[in-house]
Amino acid sequence: MVQNAGMTRVLLLLPTRTYRTADFLTAADRLGVDVVVGAERRNALESLADGGTMLVRLDDPERGAAMVERYAREHPLDAVVGVDDGSTVVAAAAAERLGLPHNPPNAVRRSRDKAQTRAAFAAAGLATPEFATHSALLDPEALAALAAATRYPCVLKPLERSGSQGVIRADRPDELAAAFRRIALILGCDLDTPGGSSDGSGQPPEILIEDFIPGVEVAVEGILRGGQLEVLAMFDKPDQLDGPFFEETLLVTPSRLSLDRQQEVETAVAQATQALGLREGPIHAEVRLNHQGTWLLEVAARSIGGLCARTLRFGAGVSLEELILRHAAGLELPPHEREEMASGVLMLPIPRAGRLQEVRGQSAATAVPHIEGLSITVPRGEKVVSLPEGDRYLGFLFARAPSPEAVETALRAAWAALDIIIDED
């Protein structure tokens, strides 16, 4: 897209592994706004040479924000949008420097750190699991003492990973010790060098251990405007996520919870955004419900990940990405009630590690009534890793139908039609 003077100009910050570049560019093209794409690696920008591009440090928010600020002196920007977790802090810091509507950078950092999130929720009086953090390089004696003193069942997780990477349930002390060391390896720790970190800095990462919360889980998609939350969609997760790993599969909207329970969820998520200090832009929340109440697990300062946003249509066919860009750039939001049809996505799990050879049965899967699409996002011949070490899915199945039940049935039938061939590497 060629930049034109006088047009709205938006900077999209793209983490290396995001799936969402095409959908955001399509939304920008529909809006007629100029897009500048910022990424960490030059090869990620090569395929986007028809529009403005820039290299941005996403691993160092202050340096990254300074790079954006220098660029904006010659190419004024109307909005900075972080796409997925890896770029949200830089986007907030850059927007703050430029005087654009933004989330406070510290609030975004808080939302990305699971321990800080838990502490903020607890301080606000919200129901959230009890937790503690521990150095990933505990020696065997200290780890054994920790395992003996922990309440079970519990869940162990890295502080800043997403997509359930490194999230493991433990029901006994021996399981906790094994999970702890497994997560430390995922985080790149050198377990043969006591006290050493993966990068030699002497500052090992931390692992969070929290109570396991049983119950039904839902996801909430919303947008903040001036600190006020508007819920755009609520997704049921029909597959119970009880561990030992927490690989998500099905998301179906609208939710089949009672209206009272849905209102409880919406109220809790709104309170959670306030507790974190978030004020502007998309949010994605994970909530569990049981007889004890509504438990806040996560509120991220971004929209739903992967290609899952393709399940959502608002007003006259408006996409979630278009709503995000309109809000960020200060453009008018059109009527955007979610469509009446139910919809859903099935994130195709990776069953085992190896090299992907083929996904058979794709024609049969897409022929299932109400299936709207199938996107395999891992190329043939590429190495794949399953959870908890893995950090991505094989692809995404999409369905749309008159009812949530019909959506779920279609997605399960299409999934059953697929045969995933993975060879040992």
- Per-chain mean pLDDT for the chain: 93
- Find the radius of gyration of the CA atoms of the chain: 22
Helix or strand (DSSP H, E) at 108: helix 105-112
CATH numbers and ranges of domains, the chain: 9-102 (3.40.50.20), 130-211 (3.30.1490.20), 341-425 (3.90.1170.50)
What is the arithmetic mean of pLDDT over 50-72?
91
Q: Is 4's pLDDT higher than 50?
A: no
Phi-psi region of 358 (alpha: psi -120 to 50; beta: other; left: phi over 0): beta
Closest to 80 measured CA to CA, from 1, 16, 10, 32: 10
Give the integer Cα–Cα distance in Å for 306 and 315. 22
Structural tokens at position 390:
């893995």
The predicted structure's pLDDT at residue 48: 59
The predicted structure's pLDDT at residue 78: 96
What is the arithmetic mean of pLDDT over 155-168?
93
pTM summary value: 0.93
pLDDT in tens, 373-385: 999 999 999 999 9
Higher pLDDT, 41 or 63: 63
Confidence of residue 418 (pLDDT cuts 50, 70, 90): very high
Structural tokens at position 327:
């809000």
pLDDT in tens, 21-35: 899 999 999 999 999
The predicted structure's pLDDT at residue 195: 56
pLDDT in tens, 214-223: 999 999 999 9
For 26, other C-beta atoms within 10 Å of its C-beta total 13
